[in-house]
């Protein structure tokens, strides 16, 4: 079975490619490298011991996608490609609607034109907005507080409409919580452009000395120690969720919406301490004002994924931090030499 992996050179995509190949899937990566480097796929090639076919192209470009579908008999798509920075989406909403929504629309058109109607889509816990309680189940009310989140919400709706129009479509919406960590080899990992927005890359860059000090955004939330609580999930567990979703796809007769999280929340200070313990590094921090748009607490009820995919996250916070640090310490400049 041949899988097209859009955004396959990116953080989650590159880790998922490894498990797909190990599970026996043939894959082809499709990426425009707007937020990734070809080096990530070369390193994945080394890990899996074979050359993964790679098509450089943009999901908004019909010709690019058609090239992929004409070169390979593609049975299903895992659709990671998209822009993902919340703050940037507020500054450049049209870029997010164009890349994420229009790009997905074109992808679906080209898929349909080639008789490929199976897609796993990267959604996000952001579609729950500010949840009324935790843990969060898939039937919680949906909302969005920024253009990035709205693009995910709209794509979910678009894919549901597609299924209503044609029940041959097989659609799985995976709502990720907070992916961190890296492949155990330490050769691939998250390589953000510029100053990291997300907690773990910022902590790791502070530990290595690229950043002077972590700002902890708020210590007056109603949480265990006043700092924000999130459901951090090891990227390899997340990758495994995609393989399980593909394995089960043919057994579903509706659009499946599935949380991928661990079910356990950690505060910023708890993550910081876990990172210090596993890396042996001291990470200086200051308490800073709350970040606009942040919520106090967000963690999944992952029981539906367990029931429907027989999947659950296996790695704990220490392993996540250890693997993040192995990647960061062996690649202080990410993929840039
Ligand atoms: P990433 O930026 O590392 O990967 C996205 C990849 O898509 C990159 O390789 C980029 O070059 C590519 N891409 C972007 N626009 C493209 C286009 N128009 N055509 C072709 N390729 C394009 O991000 P990631 O963390 O791996 O996230 C993957 C997906 O998961 C995204 O859709 C993201 O919104 C979603 N997601 C991520 C998180 C997270 O915290 N990382 C959480 C929830 C959901
Ligand atoms: N935080 C800090 N300092 C930092 C960065 C983050 O204190 O320098 C705190 C935040 O305030 C929050 C926690 O660390 O309490 C996690 O923040 P992240 O930016 O790492 O993650 P978010 O939960 O804000 O958002 C992430 C992705 C979103 C996605 C969401 C749910 O960035 O795109 O997870 O999947 F939608």
Dump the DSSP string for 193-218.
SSS--SHHHHHHHHHHTSSS-EEEE-
Identify the helix (H) or strand (E) that includes residue 153: helix 147-165
Q: What pLDDT score was predicted for residue 185?
A: 98
In the predicted structure, residue 171 carries a pLDDT above the cut 90: yes
The pLDDT score that the predictor gives to residue 234 is 98
Nearest CA to ligand 1 atom 30: 122
Cα–Cα dist 2/25, whole Å: 6
Residue of 228, 231, 287, 313 with the most ligand 2 atoms within 8 Å of its CB, for mutation: 228
Closest ligand to the CA of 294: 2
- Consecutive H or E run containing 220: none
pLDDT value of position 103:
98
- Average pLDDT over the chain reads 97
Q: Return the residue whose CA atom lies nearest to atom 9 of ligand 1.
A: 10
Polymer length of the chain: 337
Beta carbon of 311 within 6 Å of any ligand 2 atom: no
The token pair that represents 98 in the structure block: 């164009």
Q: Tens of pLDDT along 143-153?
A: 998 999 999 99
Does residue 61 have its Cβ closer than 6 Å to ligand 2? no
pLDDT > 90? residue 337: no
Stated pTM of the model: 0.98
Ligand nearest to the CA of 123: 1
- Provide residues with CB under 6 Å of ligand 1: 6-7, 9-13, 31-36, 58-60, 80-84, 99, 103, 122, 124, 176, 178-179
pLDDT of residue 267: 98
pLDDT at 154: 98
Protein residue with least CA distance to atom 12, ligand 2 = 228
Report the separation in Å between the CA atom of 220 and the middle of ligand 1, taken as the mean of its atom positions. 32
Note the pLDDT tens digit of each residue in 89-109.
999 999 999 999 999 999 999
The whole-number pLDDT of residue 281 equals 97
Using most ligand atoms within 8 A of CB, pick from 80, 183, 231 the residue to mutate for ligand 1.
Answer: 80
Gap between the Cα atoms of 98 and 82, Å rounded: 10
pLDDT tens sequence across 279-329: 999 999 999 999 999 999 999 999 999 999 999 999 999 999 999 999 999
Q: What is the pLDDT of residue 45?
A: 98
Whose CA is closest to atom 16 on ligand 2?
199
> How far is the C-alpha of 270 from the C-alpha of 155, rounded, in Å?
34
Task: Report the interhelical angle of 11-22 vs 38-48 (nearest 10°).
Answer: 20
Q: Residue 33: its pLDDT value, please?
A: 98
* pLDDT computed for residue 323 by the predictor: 98
Q: Is the pLDDT of residue 5 over 80?
A: yes
Mean pLDDT over 264-290 rounds to 98
Number of CB atoms found within 10 A of residue 244's CB: 20
Please tell me the distance from the alpha carbon of residue 284 to that of residue 268, in angstroms, as a whole number.
Answer: 13
At residue 214, the pLDDT reads 98
CA atoms lying within 13 Å on the CB side of residue 24: 3
φ/ψ of 64, rounded to 5, equals -60, -50
Nearest CA to ligand 2 atom 26: 178
pLDDT tens per residue across span 41-93: 999 999 999 999 999 999 999 999 999 999 999 999 999 999 999 999 999 99
Q: For the CA atoms of the chain, what is the radius of gyration?
A: 19
What is the pLDDT at residue 260? 99
Q: In the chain, what percentage of residues exceed pLDDT 70?
A: 100
If we measure between CA atoms, which residue out of 13, 61, 16 comes closest to residue 38?
13
Q: Check residue 248 and give its pLDDT.
A: 95
Catalytic residues: 148
* Whole-number Å distance between alpha carbons of 66 and 197: 34
C-alpha of residue 165 to centroid of ligand 1, in Å: 27
Q: Which of 294, 298, 321, 324 to mutate to test the pocket of ligand 2 (most atoms within 8 A of CB)?
A: 294
Residues 2-182+232-261+299-313: name the CATH superfamily: NAD(P)-binding Rossmann-like Domain (3.40.50.720)
Could you give the CA distance from residue 251 to residue 270 in angstroms, rounded to a whole number? 40
- Report pLDDT for 126: 97
């Amino acid at each position: 079975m041949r899988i097209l992996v859009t955004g396959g050179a990116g953080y989650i995509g590159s880790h998922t490619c490894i498990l797909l190949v190990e599970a026996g899937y043939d894959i082809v990566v499709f990426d425009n490298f707007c937020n990734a480097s070809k080096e990530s796929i070369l390193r994945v090639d080394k890990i899996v011991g074979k050359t993964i076919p790679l098509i450089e192209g943009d999901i908004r470009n019909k010709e690019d996608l058609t090239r992929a579908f004409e070169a390979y008999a593609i049975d299903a798509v895992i659709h990671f490609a998209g822009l993902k920075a919340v703050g940037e989406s507020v500054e450049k909403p049209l870029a997010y609607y164009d890349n994420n929504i229009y790009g997905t629309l074109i992808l679906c058109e080209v898929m349909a034109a080639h008789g490929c109607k199976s897609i796993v889509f990267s959604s996000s816990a952001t579609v729950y907005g500010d949840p009324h309680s935790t843990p969060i189940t898939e039937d919680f009310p949906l909302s969005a507080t920024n253009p990035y989140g709205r693009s995910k919400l709209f794509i979910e709706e678009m894919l549901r409409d597609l299924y209503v129009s044609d029940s041959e479509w097989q659609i799985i919406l995976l709502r990720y919580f907070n992916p961190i960590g890296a492949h155990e080899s330490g050769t691939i990992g998250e390589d953000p452009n510029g100053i990291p927005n997300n907690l773990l890359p910022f902590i790791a860059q502070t530990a290595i000395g690229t950043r002077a000090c972590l700002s902890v955004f708020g210590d007056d939330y109603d949480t265990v120690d006043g700092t924000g609580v999130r459901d951090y999930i090891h990227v390899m567990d997340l990758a495994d969720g995609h393989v399980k979703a593909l394995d089960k796809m043919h057994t579903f007769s509706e659009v499946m919406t599935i949380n991928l999280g661990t079910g356990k929340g950690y505060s910023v200070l708890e993550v910081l301490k876990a990172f210090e313990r596993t890396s042996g590094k001291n990470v200086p921090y200051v308490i800073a004002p709350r970040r606009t748009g942040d919520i106090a607490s967000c963690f999944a009820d992952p029981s539906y994924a367990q029931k429907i995919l027989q999947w659950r996250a296996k790695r704990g916070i220490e392993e996540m931090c250890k693997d993040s640090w192995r990647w960061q310490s062996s690649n202080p400049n990410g993929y840039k030499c």
